[in-house]
Amino acid sequence: MIKKVSRRKFLQGTGLASGTLVLGVQFAPVFAANHEPMSFSPDVFVSMDETGQVTIISHRSEMGQGILSTLPLLVADEMEADWQRVTVKQAIGDAKYGSQNTDGSRSVRKNYTKLKEAGAIMRTLIQQAAANVWAVPIDQVRIENHQAIYQNQTIDFKNLVKIASTLEVPARESLKLKTEAEQKYIGKPGMKNLDAHEVVTGQAKFGYDIEIPGMKTAVIARPPVVFGQVKSFDASETLKVPGVVKVIEMPALTPPAAFKMLGGIAVIADNTWAAIKGREALKIEWDHGSNASYNTKDHEAVFIQALENPKEVVRNRGDVEAAKKDASKHLEAEYHVAGLAHATMEPPAATARINGDRVEVWACTQTPQAAQGNVMATLEIPKEKAANVEINVTLLGGGFGRKSKPDYVAEAAYLANESKFPVKVLWTREDEIKHGYYHSPSYQKLSGSLDVDNKVTSWYHAMVNHPIGATFDPAAKLAGSTDLGQGDMMFDVPNIKIALGETDTFMRIGWVRSVTNINNVFAASSFADELAHLAGQDPKDFLLQMIGSDRIEDFAADDFKYSNYGESPEQYPAETSRLKNVIQVAADKAGWGQELPEGTGMGIAAWRSFLSYIAVVVKVSTDGNKVKIEDIHMAVDAGKILNPDRVKSQMEGSAIFGTSLAFYGEITAKDGAIEQGNFDSYQMSRINQIPEIHTHIIKSDAVPTGVGEPGLPPFAPAFCNAIFAANGVRHRRLPLKNLTLV
């Protein structure tokens, strides 16, 4: 729903001048307790003041992906606003925005049409205002670059704001949205990020940067093992550290972990250094609890046992066992992917201030509404008082899913309430690695059969990992929709079986960038390459053959309860033609099939995830156990592209993230405690290890899909397939600890 809204209501707290044209966008229906629709009550999305300055409120979080500029492009382009006269403000957390969750690569696809319509309404109002001034029909007025034009006369937007604010909002069905040829900003390279200057000059505010009067800094000594508790502690030496003002015991964590605080002992001080030194001086005796028996390496045997007889078959086509018996060739392989941390460059941080019954929070959060709910639950604030809890969203120094879990926000609110100070809770790098939510280690077991013509006749894929659901339900043992929803296998194989194994969970499991596509696609795309070599065929040609004819993949036909990332299969069909096209484009651009020097090879992998189609070709050279990445080509079909530069940066980031994952990414627990603690033991790839990354964007008129995550899954298998092509050594376990990346 879109309306003009009260100028008075909008001006409260915005600092905008009077005489403002204000347009509200309601992103989702708001319902009362009796399920009756409530009146239209959004905060404002777009406005224009008497100077002609356009202000757009972004309801999604900016973490380097460029959404703070990309979403407003839709509005500005449709309304013919001068991009230099556009300002973007970050929204606070509020249910009236609909979903503010900045995850799942869905910000653009969820808001594309609504924001174009908002811009078109603003343009139409300005156009009608100008028509009234000139006393001519509206269709004789042209709107271009912040001006209304009639014959040789022009009027700047600023001179039409007052008149436009008195007009009725045009009906949605009357709007004329721009054609692609008419667009000035959408799909064009070189669009300036609106926050770029502040970021590069150090003026931008991240979670770590918040400073408010009277604020204290807190760090927390958290239990080394999840659900561990403080048995006893001695803070006498801590309180002697200059600058330390208080030591507070946190409530112990009880199941389910969800987004609750981990417990432990908090040290509150005048500055960060004093808080850290005070924490070092604490003497704590821990009761580690039952999870202290967990060892990642030992539990691998449990994973393997779980797939001897998987608990549940989730996709079934034909008869895999019969095809195996009739096969001319058969192959089996096992794949292991280690647990992963998010390793955001900025660890979690949140600041809270409490004044009476009002709570103000500043946080680098991907989910401001969940953060608001977490604060309310922690402080036992009733739902009807939600307006008293304000979540101010800062810029995020990376997210990758970690900052959609607001446990750190609850910590700040709790400590502010207990200490009576405004408190900023900082997670150090060690905290972030040792106490996060982790991508589970996984084990996967695959088999495939070929007939006499080297066509694939059967495909079996079983997987087991600690399920994300266990973080919210400790009894959960089986991967659920969050884990399995990443299952866009589009191979035209007559006999398919996908199965899941059960296991217990001993740590906080959470979604990491691209979620279980990480392990699913590594196994599936590596195994497809193995079958190609078994068949004696070119891996690229074999991959295209496996995908088969142009069609829309019908997952439901295999009794597969596939979520399609929450979108309609009719609007977002799984099209094999698009997957085959990105494979061909990436291969052609990389020079697939060229003669390569000895010790050099190319690998390819492709997948549909987050509704987008990505193919990756990696070229490597090898020398003994040394590997060098020589070249990377990525082809992406994400439907209509709004901001090509941001798509390119997301693909580049995916390749860099994928390199770190493939070579260094490993989180392990011993006696229940995470063994890694900083970038010395959980390394990142370095700039000198990454070559130029070539991104090839497929031009498409299809609806926009996801960009932030789908570039990651095919990278690791393409990389490992390239190593095999270079030296004949197959790698089925990540990370590649026996190799050196140079």
Q: Of 403, 426, 449, which closes a domain?
A: 426
Is the torsion defined by CA of 279, 281, 283, 288 positive or negative?
positive
Q: Using N-to-C axis directions, what is the helix angle for 644-663 and 715-727, rounded to 10°?
A: 60
pLDDT of 36 reads 47
Cα gap 499→487, rounded to integer Å: 12
User: What's the mean pLDDT in 14-35?
Assistant: 52
Alpha carbon separation from 125 to 81, 114, 168, 623 (Å, rounded): 13, 17, 8, 66
> Is residue 207 in a domain?
no
pLDDT of 491 reads 96
For residues 486 and 607, the answer to whether their CB atoms sit within 8 Å is no
Is the pLDDT at 672 greater than 50, yes or no? yes
In terms of pLDDT, which residue wins out, 114 or 587? 587
How does DSSP classify residue 374? Answer: H
> Is residue 125 in a domain?
yes
| pLDDT tens figures, 720-736 | 999 999 999 999 999 99
Q: What is the mean pLDDT of the chain?
A: 92
Same domain, 672 and 570: yes
The band of 7, judged by pLDDT with boundaries at 50, 70 and 90, is very low
Single out the residue of 194, 206, 258 nearest to residue 362, CA to CA.
206
Same domain, 534 and 661: yes
Identify the CATH number of the domain in which residue 477 sits.
3.30.365.10
Q: Of 173, 198, 223, which closes a domain?
A: 198
Strands 733-734 vs 693-697: parallel, antiparallel or unpaired: unpaired
| pLDDT tens figures, 382-437 | 999 999 999 999 999 999 999 999 999 999 999 999 999 999 999 999 999 999 99
In terms of pLDDT, which residue wins out, 191 or 628? 628
pLDDT of 56 reads 87
User: What's the mean pLDDT in 446-450?
Assistant: 98
CA-based max dimension of the chain? 82
User: What's the mean pLDDT in 214-235?
Assistant: 98
Tokens of residue 120, six digits = 């078109």
pLDDT of 26 reads 54
Cα gap 114→577, rounded to integer Å: 29
User: What's the mean pLDDT in 107-118?
Assistant: 86
Judged by average pLDDT, the poorest of 6-10, 79-83, 204-208, 281-285 is 6-10
Helix (H, G, I), strand (E, B) or coil at 589: helix
Helix (H, G, I), strand (E, B) or coil at 76: helix
**Cis peptide bond N-terminal to 735, omega within 30:** yes
- ∠ CA 225-228-230, rounded to 5°: 125
Same domain, 468 and 515: yes
Q: What is the CA radius of gyration of the chain?
A: 27
The band of 21, judged by pLDDT with boundaries at 50, 70 and 90, is confident
Q: DSSP letter string over 432-500?
A: HHHSS-BBPPEEEEEEEEE-TT--EEEEEEEEEE--GGGGT-TT--B--HHHHT--------SEEEEEE
Same domain, 121 and 46: yes
Q: Which residues contact 637 (CB under 8 A, 6 or more apart)?
A: 578, 581, 582, 612, 613, 614, 698, 700, 702
Buried-exposed string 34-73: b where 16+ CB fall within 10 A, e elsewhere = eeeeeeeebbbbbbbbbebbbbbbbbbbbbbbbbbbbbbb
pLDDT of 40 reads 36
Q: DSSP letter string over 108-160?
A: HHHHHHHHHHHHHHHHHHHHHHHHHHHTS-GGG-EEETTEEEETTEEEEGGGT
User: What's the mean pLDDT in 12-37?
Assistant: 50
Residue pointed to by tokens 């924490």 = 279
Same domain, 387 and 364: yes
Is the pLDDT at 35 greater than 80, yes or no? no
Same domain, 577 and 627: yes
| pLDDT tens figures, 291-323 | 999 999 999 999 999 999 999 999 999 999 999
With a pLDDT cut of 70, the percent of the chain lying above it is 94
User: What's the mean pLDDT in 486-493?
Assistant: 88
The alpha carbon of residue 694 and the mean position of all alpha carbons in its chain are separated, in whole angstroms, by: 22
| pLDDT tens figures, 244-296 | 999 999 999 999 999 999 999 999 999 999 999 999 999 999 999 999 999 99
Is the pLDDT at 15 greater than 70, yes or no? no
For residues 532 and 347, the answer to whether their CB atoms sit within 8 Å is no
> Is residue 662 in a domain?
yes
Helix (H, G, I), strand (E, B) or coil at 429: helix
Same domain, 517 and 462: yes
> Is residue 431 in a domain?
no
The band of 1, judged by pLDDT with boundaries at 50, 70 and 90, is low
For residues 657 and 632, the answer to whether their CB atoms sit within 8 Å is no
Same domain, 307 and 280: no
> Is residue 594 in a domain?
yes
Judged by average pLDDT, the poorest of 109-118, 222-231, 323-332, 533-542 is 109-118
The band of 482, judged by pLDDT with boundaries at 50, 70 and 90, is low
> Is residue 26 in a domain?
yes
For residues 527 and 446, the answer to whether their CB atoms sit within 8 Å is yes
> How many domains are contained in the chain?
3
User: What's the mean pLDDT in 185-204?
Assistant: 88
Tokens of residue 662, six digits = 């493939």
User: What's the mean pLDDT in 82-93?
Assistant: 90
Torsion of CA 90, 96, 102, 106, to 10 degrees: -120
Strands 733-734 vs 329-337: parallel, antiparallel or unpaired: parallel
Strand partners, 44: 24
Cα gap 88→46, rounded to integer Å: 9
pLDDT of 17 reads 43
Domain membership of residue 637 as a residue range: 296-341+437-741
Cα gap 533→279, rounded to integer Å: 56
pLDDT of 34 reads 44
| pLDDT tens figures, 648-662 | 999 999 999 999 999
Residue pointed to by tokens 């239209």 = 40
pLDDT of 357 reads 93
- Written in H, E and C, the secondary structure of 482-543 is HHHCCCCCCCCCCEEEEEECECCCCCCECCCCCCCHHHHHHHHHHHHHHHHHHHCCCHHHHH
How does DSSP classify residue 395? Answer: B
- What sections of 218-340 are H helices per DSSP? 272-280, 296-306, 320-325
Same domain, 125 and 231: no
Is the pLDDT at 487 greater than 80, yes or no? no
Cα gap 327→330, rounded to integer Å: 6
Same domain, 390 and 307: no
Same domain, 145 and 262: no
pLDDT of 484 reads 56
pLDDT of 57 reads 86
The band of 59, judged by pLDDT with boundaries at 50, 70 and 90, is confident
> Is residue 582 in a domain?
yes
For residues 497 and 319, the answer to whether their CB atoms sit within 8 Å is no
Same domain, 238 and 125: no
User: What's the mean pLDDT in 129-138?
Assistant: 97
Q: Of 391, 426, 461, which closes a domain?
A: 426
**Cis peptide bond N-terminal to 256, omega within 30:** yes
User: What's the mean pLDDT in 61-87?
Assistant: 91
Strand partners, 390: 360
> Is residue 82 in a domain?
yes
| pLDDT tens figures, 92-110 | 998 877 788 898 888 888 8
Residue pointed to by tokens 């060739």 = 329
| Position 263, amino acid | G
- Adjacency order of strands within the sheet including 495-500: 312-317, 495-500, 456-465, 442-450, 329-337, 733-734
